[in-house]
């Protein structure tokens, strides 16, 4: 078991580095998961741990402002990554993530909660730009999909921990626990080499060779033949691709023609559509308002208990994605995921309609049916549209525009997430939960159509192609 797949000797260093850099993703996930169980407490005069109460509109801003921070983080860290490299950007992610927990602890007004969540958005926006590109560049193409999916796994594990901690740990104790994670992250990433591709772009070929040997785990005195072969092939592919890129561009920097060509435009459109599906299939809004959703359908289980169950299901879905993505490909997982999300949100919408709009007696089903439908929906979303989107985006974007175009796509993701999280509680309030769910069904169907008709399979495609 430990000598095959991602555990093979030549891949172990890549796995180790991936696990190190996603510690910040785990910390960010805790910050996201914290919100759902904490919001009802902050809105209750009898339960709030602070000196003020958050109303519905303020709560929607606390929930959604993280997405505005995401837009800032997308472009800020894309700039840092382009000018100073992947390594500096990786270090920089720890700064806003650390600030979150100081601000939560010292919050004496709703405005400080806004600033804390905005910092959370900066961390998240930066992570989505920096980490998938960095992991994609250091990973062998045979395991790239699995390693990139670890990003989503860490995020979901963090969200689950956030659900649990915010439900059972006092408000002012939580920052003391979680703030250790960004410091551990800095220690784990302190000695990582820069990405070999970035070093080659800077003309530092010898440094690029050393970095690639490190990531191929053949930098010791007696490297294995398998590691040496993997290193040689990867370095030649990388150097040839970058030389061809330089030749095609005539040593120029990025120009508008790099974006306005058929391949680039199709890749960017694919990215934006996948981002739309990632957000508007509903999963992100569901995670932020899970406890409120279960309160509305009058489930017999305690709402936060249901929320924790859903957090655990997210992890199982991501593990399934890690197992399947390099075996069966990206396209089939996206298709299955879109079908499942369409069925799941439509079914939950039907249940919500009867729970909210009619006098039907649902007591025989309320203990298990809502959480079961939501669990299946969250599971199938994490198998495909949540986890695989990041993998596909890195693989479809041309190498020359990958950094800028990915920041553009993730900027779009953050704007869409803001719209979703800001409007979802208002939609539940004014149109009902059922209509909100059915709108997610419509988006799932549109994404399914695109995945079936237009999406290309990128399994085993070299990142340099």
| 3-class state of residue 207 by DSSP | helix
Q: Which two tokens stand for residue 191?
A: 């000695």
Note whether 305 and 445 are same-domain residues. Answer: yes
CATH of the domain at 130: 1.20.1250.20
Residue 264 has pLDDT above 90, yes or no: no
Same domain, 120 and 219: no
**Residue 6 CA from chain centroid, whole number:** 21
- ∠ at Cα 130 (197, 271), nearest 5°? 95
Task: Decide if 417 contacts 279 (C-beta within 8 A).
Answer: yes
- Tell if the pTM clears 0.95, that is, is over it: no
* 83, containing H or E segment: helix 56-84
CA-only gyration radius of the chain, Å: 22
Quote the CA–CA distance of 360 and 42 in Å, as a whole number. 32
Domain boundary among 174, 192, 210: 192
pLDDT tens profile 14-46: 888 899 999 999 999 998 888 878 888 888 888
Which residues have C-beta within 8 Å of that of residue 392, sequence separation ≥ 6? 270, 274, 330, 334, 455, 458
Share above pLDDT 90 across residues of the chain, in percent, rounded to a whole number: 13
| Among 462, 464, 351, 461, residue whose Cα is nearest residue 402 | 464
Residues in Cβ contact with 289 at an 8 Å cutoff, skipping those fewer than 6 apart: 36, 39, 63, 424, 425, 428
pLDDT given for residue 460 in this prediction: 62
Q: CB under 8 Å, gap of 24 or more: what pairs does 363-369 form? A: 363/300, 366/297, 366/298, 366/299, 366/300, 367/299, 367/300, 367/301
- Residue 38: inside a domain: yes
Residue 223 pLDDT: 64
Q: Do 411 and 302 reside in the same domain of the chain?
A: yes
DSSP annotation string for 335-389: HHHHHHHHHHHHHHHHHHHHHHHS----TTTTTTHHHHHHHHHHHHHHHTTTTHH
Of the two residues 300 and 105, the one the predictor is more confident about is 105
pLDDT at 181: 93
Residues 72 and 121 in one domain: yes
Q: Which two tokens stand for residue 401?
A: 């525009």
**Do 119 and 97 share a structural domain?**
yes
User: How many structural domains comprise the chain?
Assistant: 3
pLDDT given for residue 282 in this prediction? 63
- 250 pLDDT exceeds 60? no
Work out the angle between the directed axes of helices 144-168 and 388-396 (0-180°, nearest 10): 140
Same-domain pairing of 82 and 100: yes
Average pLDDT, the chain: 82
State residue 100's pLDDT score.
Answer: 92
Cβ(341)–Cβ(444) under 8 Å?
yes
51 and 166 housed in the same domain: yes
Q: What is the pLDDT of residues 70-114, one digit of tens each?
A: 888 888 998 898 888 889 999 999 999 999 999 999 988 889 999
Is the pLDDT confidence value at 148 over 70? yes
Say if 32 falls within a structural domain.
Answer: yes
Range of the domain at 417: 256-464
- Structural domain contains residue 54: yes
Helix then strand count (H, E) for the chain reads 22, 0
Q: In this predicted model, which residue has the larger pLDDT, 195 or 400? A: 195
Same domain, 149 and 48: yes
Based on the fold, state whether residues 236 and 262 are members of the same structural domain: no
- Residue 2 domain-assigned (yes or no): no
Tokens of 114: 């806004």
Query: Is residue 1 included in any domain, yes or no?
Result: no
Same domain, 14 and 123: yes
Q: How confident is the model at residue 1 (pLDDT cuts 50, 70, 90)?
A: very low
């Amino acid at each position: 078991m430990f000598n095959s797949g991602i555990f093979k000797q030549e891949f172990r260093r890549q796995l180790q580095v991936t696990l190190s850099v996603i510690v910040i993703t785990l910390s960010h996930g805790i910050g996201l998961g914290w919100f759902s169980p904490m919001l009802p407490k902050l809105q209750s005069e009898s339960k709030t741990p602070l000196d003020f109460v958050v109303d519905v509109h303020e709560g929607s801003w606390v929930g959604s402002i993280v997405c505005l921070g995401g837009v800032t983080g997308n472009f800020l860290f894309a700039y840092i990554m382009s000018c100073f490299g992947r390594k500096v950007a990786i270090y920089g992610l720890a700064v806003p993530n650390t600030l979150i927990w100081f601000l939560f602890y010292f919050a004496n007004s709703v405005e400080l909660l806004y600033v804390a969540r905005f910092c959370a958005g900066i961390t998240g926006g930066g992570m989505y730009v920096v980490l998938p590109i960095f992991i994609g560049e250091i990973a062998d193409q045979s395991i790239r999909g699995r390693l990139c999916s670890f990003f989503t796994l860490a995020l979901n594990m963090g969200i689950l921990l956030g659900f649990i901690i915010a439900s059972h740990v006092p408000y002012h104790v939580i920052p003391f626990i979680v703030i250790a994670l960004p410091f551990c992250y800095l220690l784990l990433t302190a000695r990582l080499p820069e990405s070999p591709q970035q070093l080659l772009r800077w003309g530092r070929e010898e440094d690029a060779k050393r970095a690639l040997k490190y990531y191929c785990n053949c930098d010791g005195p007696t490297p294995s033949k398998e590691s040496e072969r993997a290193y040689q092939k990867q370095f030649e592919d990388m150097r040839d691709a970058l030389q061809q890129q330089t030749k095609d561009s005539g040593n120029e920097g990025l120009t508008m023609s790099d974006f306005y060509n058929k391949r680039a435009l199709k890749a960017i459109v694919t990215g934006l559509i996948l981002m739309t599906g990632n957000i508007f299939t509903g999963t992100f809004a569901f995670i932020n308002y899970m406890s409120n959703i279960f309160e509305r359908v009058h489930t017999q289980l305690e709402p936060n208990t249901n929320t924790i169950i859903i957090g655990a299901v997210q992890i199982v879905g991501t593990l399934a994605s890690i197992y399947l993505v390099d075996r069966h490909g990206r396209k089939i997982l996206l298709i299955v995921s879109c079908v499942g999300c369409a069925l799941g949100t439509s079914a939950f919408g039907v249940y919500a309609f009867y729970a909210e709009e009619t006098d039907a007696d649902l007591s025989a089903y309320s203990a298990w049916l809502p959480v079961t439908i939501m669990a299946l929906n969250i599971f199938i979303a994490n198998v495909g549209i949540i986890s695989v989107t990041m993998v596909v985006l890195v693989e479809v974007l041309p190498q020359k525009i990958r950094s800028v175009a990915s920041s553009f796509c993730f900027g779009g993701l953050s704007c869409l997430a803001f719209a979703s999280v800001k409007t979802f509680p208002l939609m539940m309030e004014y149109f009902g939960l059922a209509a909100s769910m059915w709108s997610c069904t419509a988006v799932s169907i549109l994404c399914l159509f695109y995945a079936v008709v237009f999406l290309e399979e990128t399994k085993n495609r070299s990142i340099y192609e």
